[in-house]
Amino acid sequence: MFTPVRRRGTEILDDPNADAALSLRSLRDIALANRFFGGKRAVVREVATLLRRHSGGNEPVSLLDIGTGLGDIPAAAARMAGRRGLVMRTIGLERAPMLAAAAATRCTDALAADAMHLPFADRSIDIITISQVLHHFEDAEASQLLQECTRVARMGVVVGDLRRSWLAVAGLWSSSYLLGFHPVSRHDGMLSVLRGYTEPELRSLIERATGCHAGVTHRLGFRITAVWSPRYRRA
């Protein structure tokens, strides 16, 4: 089955003035999708790979999750690190205080801030994760976000996103009814898939923006991950 052309549509909840209760309901649907379709597992697996390089002894590992939603991914990463004998300090970042507050119970810290201008010094956070966020931006803004992440990350950056295909659209549409998604979550979710990436697209976007080589991998559930280290920029 051929890959659809990447769409440029606007999702309902991309509107910063979207209803707060509806936004929270959608975040619950996203967390459910992450659990059942592999989004959480895919990102945590890449974080686990980066942790193999950790040489900080007993020092806590810091992780910043951009667009953290309900904080399900940093919470899962912290549990995984704990099983490896590491302490992980997680920071969830959202665009609005109300959304950051929703993540606060699952993250060590949560804050509302502009992801395009991260309030952190260069090389101040060990690992940065971005799950199902990048596709919301056009190329110029996506590049700026990737550059900011690369500036702040010390160990590596992990992107998890959707792998674009008609089969993924059909699967999300049908399963959204079984999982009880809100109609807005269904609409935005299907559009998100059509705004997702192929492997060459994601690799090219990251390498153009950051100058770093990115390892890009297909994952189950029509997911795609990319991971890179700021220490290994291309010449």
pLDDT along the chain (235 residues), means of 10: 73 73 80 80 95 78 96 96 94 92 95 96 97 92 97 97 86 83 83 89 96 93 92 60
- Residue 169 has what pLDDT? 80
Please indicate, yes or no, if residue 132 is contained in any of the structural domains.
Answer: yes
How many domains are there within the chain?
1
User: What is the Cα–Cα distance from 216 to 158, expressed in whole angstroms?
Assistant: 10
Determine the structural domain holding residue 57 and report its residue range.
Answer: 38-166+198-228
Please indicate, yes or no, if residue 31 is contained in any of the structural domains.
Answer: no
Please indicate, yes or no, if residue 220 is contained in any of the structural domains.
Answer: yes
User: What is the Cα–Cα distance from 29 to 127, expressed in whole angstroms?
Assistant: 25
- Residue 183 has what pLDDT? 85
Rounded to 10°, the helix 72-83/20-37 angle is: 40
- Residue 235 has what pLDDT? 46
- Residue 1 has what pLDDT? 53
Q: What is the CATH number of the domain that holds 57?
A: 3.40.50.150
Torsion of CA 144, 149, 154, 160, to 10 degrees: -130
Task: Check residue 197 and report its DSSP letter.
Answer: B
Structure tokens that stand for 59 in this block: 């020092």
Please indicate, yes or no, if residue 159 is contained in any of the structural domains.
Answer: yes
Please indicate, yes or no, if residue 70 is contained in any of the structural domains.
Answer: yes
Q: What is the pTM of this model?
A: 0.88
Please indicate, yes or no, if residue 30 is contained in any of the structural domains.
Answer: no
Please indicate, yes or no, if residue 148 is contained in any of the structural domains.
Answer: yes
The answer to whether the beta carbons of residues 103 and 23 sit under 8 Å apart is no
- Residue 57 has what pLDDT? 65
Rounded to 10°, the helix 20-37/39-51 angle is: 70
Neighbouring residues of 185: CB distance < 8 A, sequence distance ≥ 6:
25, 26, 29, 30, 176
Please indicate, yes or no, if residue 2 is contained in any of the structural domains.
Answer: no
